[in-house]
Amino acid sequence: MDPRVRERLEAKIAEASSRRAELVSIADAVGRGAVTPYAMLAGMLYNSFYYQTRRVCGRDPTRAEVREFVDMLGARGPDLERALDR
């Protein structure tokens, strides 16, 4: 993954706890059985990863980059869940 994309993703991850109320509100409106705040955050991060890769690198992410993103998200998953459960 391009270091500039990783840096932007790290900033988005750091922003997670400040968006908690917004994500919980949206999840409650849709129904928590349909979507969780964590799933919404994962989607937001994927969207950021995908479009930042296109913007910074001028191309779609490679399979290796997607795998790196998934691994990154998995490693940070417990921290993100804790940030959203507060």
CA-CA-CA-CA torsion sign (2, 51, 75, 83): positive
* The residue to which tokens 């940070």 are assigned: 76
Give 29-53 pLDDT, tens digit per residue: 988 778 888 888 899 999 999 999 9
Going by C-alpha positions, the residue among 17, 16, 18, 38 that lies closest to residue 27 is 38
Contact indicator for 17, 86 with CB cutoff of 8 Å: yes
Kindly state the tokens that stand for 32.
């928590």
pLDDT of the residue at 36: 85
Pick out the chain residues at pLDDT < 50. none
pLDDT of the residue at 14: 86
Residues 34, 66: Cα–Cα separation, whole Å: 25
pLDDT of the residue at 61: 97
